[in-house]
A and B are shown apart, each in its own frame.
Chain A
Amino acid sequence: MPGNHNNLPLLTVDRLVAGYTGPVVGPVSFAVQPGEVLGLSGPNGAGKSTILKAITGEARRFEGEVTPCNGLTVTHHQQRPELPPELPLLGRELLRVMSADRRDAPAIIQPLLDRPINRMSGGQFQLLEAWACLGGDAELVLLDEPTNNLDGDAMEALADFIRAARPPRAILMVSHERDFLQANCSRIVEVSHRKAET
């Protein structure tokens, strides 16, 4: 994993107001430290996913700053990843393009390596994509509702993936599963609905 960030924040979000055609969320401020698992919690529609998209540049920043440390590498596991219906890409081929095709892939991932993604269930594909993000070299991994579609065993495997992360790797995770956040995050930031502008 590249970079020595001398315990400076990997990412600083300062009074961010973000959205699409108009503001959806904010102002919100937090910093992601090396090695921590930071959770974003809040009601549906509060704009938690929009914060992640503002960090990656997919959503628009109306106010405030998002400041990554120099050379920060990021992967983003998006909410409800779409399972392409007829794409014969093997699990290991997807992992390879994300530099996550490690020999020590977790046991739950092993059966998926030689299976085409079009023959995976939604939960299996969700878990494979999460591992594609967590098994690579990115210093900051953004996970958006990673427990969607997962059964109990798969959720436990995902928790193992998250716990295996080592500094300077940090994880910023959005989930509506409050229990999952509390069990796996070192810190949780609450995101509330943006007040209507008058």
Chain B
Amino acid sequence: MSDFILFDPMFRMPFLIGLLLAVGLSLIGAYLRMREEWLAALGLSHMAAAGGIAALPLGIPTLVGALVFAAVAALLKGVLPRASNNHYGLMLLLGWGGALMLAANTHQGEVVGEALLRGQLYFTSQPHLIAAVVLLLVLFASLNWLSPRLLIERFFPDYFSANRIPAWPHRLLFGALVVVAAVLGTLAMGAMSAFAMFFVPAWVAFVLVRGWRRALMLTVAIAVIAYITAFVVSMLLDQPFGPSLALCLALTTSLRLFANRAARLSGAPGE
């Protein structure tokens, strides 16, 4: 019976959407961690949840409301000369508080709010699939151009202004990728599980391997394995998907215990 449910065609599209998002969110999460902006994912996913609920009284699709709120928050962040995790923390508070207040004062808001905060992967449909495919295509098509610029900006922050090279194209593209990923992740997995997908895989992978490319590959591998495990467990045990995913990802952090061994094998700092 369980096997039948697991391989039911009805669940194929949600499974595929989640799989694509696991790859996209974790990869973007690696760059957020490199830029020390990982809290942005939590702030934006909660702003997306607030936007999704605010869409109800406005009569617009949830996806559009979530995108507008997250994009406005990202734009405001972009205006700040030195956005930091303090600002993302504030974004999180505004998003969380706003989402719950809107939910409490909107017709059907509680139901939608619950779905956005906990995730509704099984109810995702073709528009989500198209959006997830577009996200991954844009991400992979731009990564060779985007990655060195993000790395240069991390280590030599005034490189672009010193050479009169406009920095806004790569900042805008990366910001847009983060916003779209946060919105899709929130709609499909729930705000906290989407954040976990941004946050955990890179945190684990970065201490286990040497080299940026390997770290990116391990980040995606951890995300995909945790996602598939959570999907199967939640189906077999009839558990909610969002919390199952967050817990599976949290369990992978035990791999960080191997980091000290890896460091000993490859040489301690300053050796």
- Measured CB to CB, the residues of A under 8 A from B are 53, 55-58, 72-76, 78, 81, 84, 86-90, 93-94, 96-98, 114-116, 118-121, 123-124, 129, 132-133, 142
The complex places the Cα of A123 from the Cα of B270 at a distance, in Å, of 8
Nearest 8 interchain pairs by C-beta: A121-B270, A57-B161, A56-B162, A56-B158, A74-B162, A58-B158, A97-B148, A88-B215
Q: Is B57 an interface residue (CB 8 A)?
A: no
- Restricting to B227-271, which residues have a CB under 8 Å from any CB of A? 263, 266-271
B210 x A74 contact (CB < 8 A)? no
B155 x A121 contact (CB < 8 A)? no
B151 x A58 contact (CB < 8 A)? no
The complex places the Cα of A86 from the Cα of B206 at a distance, in Å, of 6
Q: Is B209 an interface residue (CB 8 A)?
A: yes
Give the chain A neighbours of B203 by CB distance below 8 A: 86
The complex places the Cα of A88 from the Cα of B152 at a distance, in Å, of 15
Give the chain B neighbours of A120 by CB distance below 8 A: 269-270
B128 to chain A, nearest CB (A): 33
A75 x B156 contact (CB < 8 A)? yes
A76 x B158 contact (CB < 8 A)? yes
- Restricting to B21-57, which residues have a CB under 8 Å from any CB of A? 34, 36
The number of residue pairs between A and B whose CB atoms lie closer than 8 Å in the complex comes to 89
The complex places the Cα of A129 from the Cα of B263 at a distance, in Å, of 22
Given A87-B206, A90-B211, A97 contacting B151 (CB threshold 8 A): yes
Q: Which residue of B lies closest to A55 (CB)?
A: B162
Give the chain B neighbours of A81 by CB distance below 8 A: 155
A-B contact pairs, 21 of them (CB 8 A): A55-B162, A56-B158, A74-B162, A74-B163, A76-B158, A78-B156, A78-B157, A78-B158, A84-B154, A87-B34, A87-B206, A88-B209, A89-B151, A89-B211, A93-B213, A97-B152, A97-B155, A115-B210, A116-B266, A129-B155, A133-B156
Give the chain A neighbours of B266 by CB distance below 8 A: 115-116, 119
A119 x B267 contact (CB < 8 A)? yes
Give the chain B neighbours of A123 by CB distance below 8 A: 270
Given A74-B163, A121-B270, A124-B270, A116 contacting B158 (CB threshold 8 A): no
The complex places the Cα of A78 from the Cα of B268 at a distance, in Å, of 25
Q: Is B159 an interface residue (CB 8 A)?
A: yes
Contact of B212 among A73, A75, A89 (CB under 8 A): A89
Contact of B163 among A73, A87, A119, A133 (CB under 8 A): A73
Between A76, A87, A120, the greatest number of chain B beta carbons within 10 A of the residue's beta carbon is seen for A87
Between B36, B156, B271, the greatest number of chain A beta carbons within 10 A of the residue's beta carbon is seen for B156
A132 x B155 contact (CB < 8 A)? yes
Q: Is the interface of A mostly helix, strand, loop or mixed?
A: mixed
B158 x A88 contact (CB < 8 A)? no
Q: Is B68 an interface residue (CB 8 A)?
A: no
Give the chain A neighbours of B161 by CB distance below 8 A: 56-58
Give the chain A neighbours of B148 by CB distance below 8 A: 96-97
Give the chain A neighbours of B36 by CB distance below 8 A: 84
Given contacts A86-B203, A88-B214, 20 further A-B contacts (CB under 8 A): A57-B158, A57-B162, A58-B157, A73-B163, A74-B162, A76-B159, A84-B36, A88-B205, A88-B209, A88-B210, A88-B215, A89-B211, A93-B211, A93-B212, A94-B155, A97-B155, A115-B267, A116-B211, A119-B268, A129-B155
A123 to chain B, nearest CB (A): 8
A49 to chain B, nearest CB (A): 12
The complex places the Cα of A15 from the Cα of B271 at a distance, in Å, of 47
Give the chain A neighbours of B159 by CB distance below 8 A: 75-76
B194-208 interface bits toward A, Cβ cutoff 8 Å, 1 = contact, 0 = none = 000000000101110
A75 x B215 contact (CB < 8 A)? no
A98 x B152 contact (CB < 8 A)? yes
B158 x A121 contact (CB < 8 A)? no
Q: Which residue of B lies closest to A116 (CB)?
A: B210
The complex places the Cα of A114 from the Cα of B154 at a distance, in Å, of 20
B29 to chain A, nearest CB (A): 14
Between A88, A98, A119, A123, the greatest number of chain B beta carbons within 10 A of the residue's beta carbon is seen for A88
Give the chain A neighbours of B268 by CB distance below 8 A: 119
B262 to chain A, nearest CB (A): 10
Give the chain B neighbours of A87 by CB distance below 8 A: 34, 206
B80 to chain A, nearest CB (A): 15
Q: Which residue of B lies closest to A138 (CB)?
A: B163
A59 to chain B, nearest CB (A): 9
